[in-house]
Homo-oligomer: A and B are copies of this chain.
């Protein structure tokens, strides 16, 4: 399974691009693919065709009324792992919590 984060913006619509971004978010939301929004992009979870299909749909829609588009995509594939949209952060936060407890106990 893949975690794919992407952000896509028009370059020719001025400083604020939230109209175009919320239109993309609507596409993402209606795709049925599990996702999480963050201040710098959206993280999707699924197989390659599934998640890239959502990116493509956002691109085709944005292309219909934008002359220049910039898009950054980051993929993290890990064999046999699903549910990482939740578990990846939980695993790191757990380690952080444990190391804090250890610090408190040893009085450092």
Binding site for B on A (CB under 8 A): 3, 5, 7-9, 11-12, 14-15, 17-19, 21-22, 25-26, 29, 36-41, 43, 48-49, 52, 56, 59-60, 63, 67-79, 84-86, 88-89, 91-93, 95-96, 99
Contacts and interface: CB of A to CB of B under 8 A. Distances in A.
A107 to B, nearest CB: 17
Contact of A48 (B8, B41, B56, B75): B56
Stoichiometry, copies per complex: 4
Which 5 pairs across A and B sit closest by C-beta, in order of nearness?
A22-B95, A38-B38, A73-B73, A71-B75, A5-B40
A67 B76 contact: no
Given A52-B52, A73-B75, A85 B26 contact: no
A9 B8 CA distance: 14
B69 A75 contact: yes
